[in-house]
């Protein structure tokens, strides 16, 4: 019996039998090992994406696993290969695709949101979505490749260069990953985060943090930059205060990279943009180059996956894990273990 974690309605998940089609031409069947729960999954759990997600829906797109079967015409892949999936399907015909921006296709199928995801014991996907994992990389660590690819793309969009000063506003999983990737690019990084738990974790990773509730951020930025302001800021908090902070810390011709998904319009100090000739750039998802770079960063320890994984739970405990993540501050990344065949399904 194949089990899957399914979204049924707002704040309602179950673990139940699910049908997974055998691999057709150009497809592979994967046995997912570990699947991370991300912020988008929480938005689905809260019912915020019901207009897009058709229940019952199998969630999950941050994953690692091994190939079980390959369909006709699939070359270069074999059962037993360790893989992750870049969960994007594009149409190759829309204006965005024709311009070379397939990852933001105007009719994009984000697998795990628009179509069934990885939080199941068997998962059939196009072979074109596979990204190979090195044999030395533990599969639980490899589940962090997808969010690391997000960070790689963000740092690339912001054009972070060596010796620049970068401020990351929001120290959740993606914010920490951005800070690590920016540091690997040679930047000097500060993380702005309210949660003491997340600040402590960031500091254990060698990152310097600021508490916006207690620290005088303008004074700290001035001391750090010689009153010049930061070269780049990443808004990862999704809050109005985070937007304000990200704009305020920037120096002349600074770049603001918008990473968080803001559910409603925000006020932005456009006078600051005018006065300092600031640049705002959006960053969404990733391309294959970002994914391959992410595999390297996780495999070589630049991204210390073990320290970012708060806990691993069996599929039957996935609903509880979603609720634990709602609190935010005391956990960083929770993985769902999809390998336990003994888990029972909800009746």
For the chain, give the percent of residues with pLDDT over 90: 94
Residue 245 falls in the annotated catalytic set: no
pLDDT tens for residues 258-311? 999 998 999 999 999 999 999 999 999 999 999 999 999 999 999 999 999 999
Q: What is the 3-state secondary structure (H, E, C) of the chain?
A: CCEEEEEEECCEEEEEECCCCCCCCCEEEEEEEEEECCHHHHHHHCCCCCCCCCCCEECCCEEEEEEEEECCCCCCCCCCCEEEECCEECCCCCHHHHCCCHHHCCCCEEECCCECCCCECCEEEEHHHEEECCCCCCHHHHCCHHHHHHHHHHHHHCCCCCCCEEEEECCCHHHHHHHHHHHHCCCEEEEECCCHHHHHHHHHCCCEEECCCCCCHHHHHHHHHCCCCEEEEEECCCCHHHHHHHHHCEEEEEEEEECCCCCCCCCCCHHHHHHHCCEEEECCCCCHHHHHHHHHHHHCCCCCHHHHEEEEEEHHHHHHHHHHHHCCCCCCEEEEECCCCCCCCCC
From the list 2, 43, 262, 296, the catalytic residue is 43
Please report which confidence band the pLDDT of residue 342 belongs to, taking 50, 70 and 90 as the band edges.
low
Mean pLDDT (the chain, rounded): 95
Predicted local distance difference test score (pLDDT) of residue 206: 98
pLDDT surpassing 50 at residue 220:
yes
From the list 2, 40, 279, 302, the catalytic residue is 40
Q: What is the mean pLDDT of residues 237-255?
A: 98
pLDDT surpassing 50 at residue 201:
yes
Please report which confidence band the pLDDT of residue 327 belongs to, taking 50, 70 and 90 as the band edges.
confident
pLDDT surpassing 60 at residue 336:
yes
Predicted local distance difference test score (pLDDT) of residue 211: 98
Residue 43 falls in the annotated catalytic set: yes
Predicted local distance difference test score (pLDDT) of residue 347: 34
Q: What is the mean pLDDT of residues 221-235?
A: 98
Predicted local distance difference test score (pLDDT) of residue 343: 53
């Amino acid at each position: 019996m194949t089990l899957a974690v399914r979204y049924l309605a707002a704040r309602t998940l179950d673990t139940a039998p699910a049908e997974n089609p055998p691999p057709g031409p150009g497809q592979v069947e994967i046995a997912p090992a570990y699947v991370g729960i991300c912020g988008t999954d929480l938005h689905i759990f809260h019912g915020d994406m019901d207009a897009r997600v058709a229940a019952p829906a199998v969630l999950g797109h941050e994953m690692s696993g091994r190939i079980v079967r390959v369909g006709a015409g699939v070359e270069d892949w074999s059962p037993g290969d360790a893989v992750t999936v870049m969960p994007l399907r594009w149409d190759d015909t829309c204006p965005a695709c024709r311009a070379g921006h397939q990852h933001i296709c105007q009719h994009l199928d984000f697998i795990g949101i628009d179509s069934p995801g990885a939080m199941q014991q068997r998962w059939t996907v196009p072979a074109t979505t596979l990204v190979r994992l090195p044999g030395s990389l533990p599969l639980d660590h490899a589940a962090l490749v997808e969010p690391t690819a997000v960070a790689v793309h963000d740092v690339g969009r912001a054009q972070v260069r060596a010796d620049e000063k970068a401020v990351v506003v929001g120290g959740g999983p993606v914010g920490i990953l951005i800070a690590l990737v920016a540091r690997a690019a040679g930047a000097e990084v500060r993380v702005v985060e309210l949660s003491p738990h997340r600040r402590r974790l960031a500091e254990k990773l060698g990152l310097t943090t600021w508490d916006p509730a207690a620290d005088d951020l303008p004074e700290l930025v001035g001391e750090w930059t010689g009153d010049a302001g930061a070269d780049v800021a990443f808004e990862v908090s999704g809050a109005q205060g985070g937007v304000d902070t990200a704009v305020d810390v920037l120096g002349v011709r600074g770049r603001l990279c918008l990473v968080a998904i803001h559910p409603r319009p925000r006020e932005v100090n456009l006078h600051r943009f005018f006065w300092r000739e600031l640049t705002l750039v959006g960053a969404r998802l990733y391309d294959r180059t970002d994914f391959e770079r992410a595999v390297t960063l996780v495999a070589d320890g630049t991204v210390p996956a073990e320290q970012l994984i708060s806990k691993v739970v069996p599929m039957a405990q996935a609903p509880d894990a979603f609720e634990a993540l709602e609190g935010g501050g005391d956990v960083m990344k929770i993985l769902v273990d999809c390998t336990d065949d003994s888990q029972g399904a909800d009746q």
